[in-house]
Amino acid sequence: MMAKTIDHAFTAKTLTSAATDPTYAGTLSFMRRKYSKQVKGTDAVIWGIPFDAATSNRPGARFGPQAIRRASAIFDNDPQYPFSRDLFEAMSVVDYGDCLLDYGNHWKTPATIEKETARLLSGTDFLLTLGGDHFITWPLLKAHAAKHGPLALVQFDAHQDTWFDDAKRIDHGSFVARAVRDGIIDPARSIQIGIRTHAPENFGVRIVYGHEVEDMSAADIAATILSHTAGAPAYLTFDIDCLDPAFAPGTGTPVAGGPSSAKILSVLQRLKQLDIRGADVVEVAPAYDHADITAIAGATVAMYMLGLRAERLARFR
Rg (CA), the chain: 18
Q: What is the pTM of this model?
A: 0.96
Read off the pLDDT of residues 145-202 as tens digits, 9 standing for 90 and up.
Answer: 999 999 999 999 999 999 888 888 888 889 999 999 999 999 999 999 999 999 989 9
Specify binding-site residues for Mn(2+): 134, 157, 159, 161, 239, 241
**Nearest CA among 49, 46, 63, 98 for reference residue 284:** 63
Tens of pLDDT, residue by residue over 218-277, are: 999 999 999 999 999 999 999 999 999 999 999 999 999 999 999 999 999 999 999 999
| Mean pLDDT, residues 123-150 | 97
The three-class DSSP label of residue 191 is strand
E-assigned strands of 126-246?
127-131, 152-156, 191-195, 206-209, 234-239
Binding residues: 134, 157, 159, 161, 239, 241
Across the chain, the runs of DSSP E, i.e. the strands, are: 34-35, 44-49, 93-98, 127-131, 152-156, 191-195, 206-209, 234-239, 276-282
Instruction: Provide the pLDDT for residue 1.
Output: 42
If you write DSSP's letter for every residue of 3-71 in order, what string do you get? PP-S-HHHH-SSTTPPP---TTSS---GGGPEE-S--TTBSEEEEEE---TT-SS---GGGHHHHHHHH
Query: Does the domain formed by 8-316 have CATH 3.40.800.10?
Result: yes
